[in-house]
Amino acid sequence: MSDLKPALEAVLMVVDEPVTEERLAKALDRTPREVALALRELADEYAVQGRGFELRVVAGGWRYYTRAEHAAAVEAFVLDGQQARLTQAALETLAVVAYRQPVSRSRVSAVRGVNCDGVMRTLLQRGLVEEAGAEPETGAILYRTTNYFLERMGLRGLDELPELAPFLPEAEAVEADSLEGVPSFDPDADDGAGHADETTEV
């Protein structure tokens, strides 16, 4: 175990996406159980030491993340005051995909009541959604969220999405298929962003 932890730290320092325990075990020629135990011990050690980073399980794998309490310092250094935010239109579209996936563009447009082709292209380019086959009846392309989406949201899986019902208007005032009132769960969201131009890239 003494040599396993440093090896895990070295590997995790160079990954650009969460890595599963199985993949780490194979790379380091150890058992998944040994790797899982070492990862959890490392995570606990960082927490006790109050380090500026933490080791977390996100989107089914392990990766280093800066601690939330130091977000301002990281933003000041990395973003230098400029941050590419998703518009309200993009956030609403992403929410529909997240809760209805796999879903076609026409279905997303129907739920939102406005054409969303331009916004969907942007979400595809950002790597937040991806194609998920075709609808048998119509042949329309279906879309779903990606592991990158889970990573950005800090979710282990889709089952950790917040319950939708508490955010909906009164039941008698909204159709069951409506997603109006879905909370903006994107960490980069700008609450003041509008969505008058649905075809503008965001």
Least confident among 23-37, 40-54, 128-142, 160-174: 160-174
User: What is the C-alpha separation between 45 and 189, in angstroms, rounded?
Assistant: 32
CATH architecture, domain 88-173: Orthogonal Bundle (1.10)
The reported pLDDT for the residue numbered 31 is 95
In this predicted structure, what is the pLDDT of residue 59? 87
Q: Sign of dihedral through CA atoms 142, 146, 149, 155? A: positive
Q: What would the mean pLDDT of 7-19 be, rounded to a whole number?
A: 92
Strand partners, 54: 65
Residue 159 pLDDT > 50, yes or no?
A: yes
Where in the chain are all domains bearing CATH 1.10.10.10?
4-78, 88-173
Kindly indicate the confidence band of residue 130, based on its pLDDT and cuts at 50, 70 and 90.
very high
> Could you give the dihedral angle defined by the CA atoms of residues 168, 170, 171 and 175, in that order, rounded to the nearest 10 degrees?
-60
pLDDT bracket for residue 1 (50, 70, 90)? low
Q: Are 161 and 99 in contact (CB under 8 A)?
A: yes
The residue behind tokens 């889970």 is: 150
Q: What residue ranges in the chain does DSSP mark as E strands?
A: 53-58, 61-66, 103-104, 129-134, 141-145
Whether 97 and 143 have beta carbons less than 8 Å apart is answered as yes
Task: Band the pLDDT of 195: cuts 50, 70, 90.
Answer: very low
What does the pLDDT look like over 48-78, one tens digit per residue?
A: 999 999 999 998 899 999 998 998 888 777 6
In the chain, % helix, strand, coil (3-state, to 5) comes to 45, 15, 40
Closest CA to 98 of 133, 129, 59: 129
Angstrom CA distances, 136 to 99, 130, 142, 145, stand at 20, 18, 10, 20
Residues listed for the chain = 202
List of residues 6+ apart from 8 with CB closer than 8 A: 24, 28, 35, 38, 39, 42
pLDDT band at 194 (very low <50, low <70, confident <90, very high): very low
The CATH number of 4-78 is which of 1.10.10.10, 3.40.50.10490, 1.25.40.10, 3.40.50.10800?
Answer: 1.10.10.10
Give, in order, the Cα–Cα distances in Å from 68 to each of 80, 133, 200.
18, 36, 32
Q: Cis check for the bond before 102: say yes or no (omega within 30 of 0).
A: yes
At residue 83, the pLDDT reads 53
Question: What average pLDDT is seen over the chain?
Answer: 80
Q: How far apart are CA 190 and CA 184, in angstroms?
A: 9
Examine the pLDDT at 15 and tell me if it is beyond 60.
yes
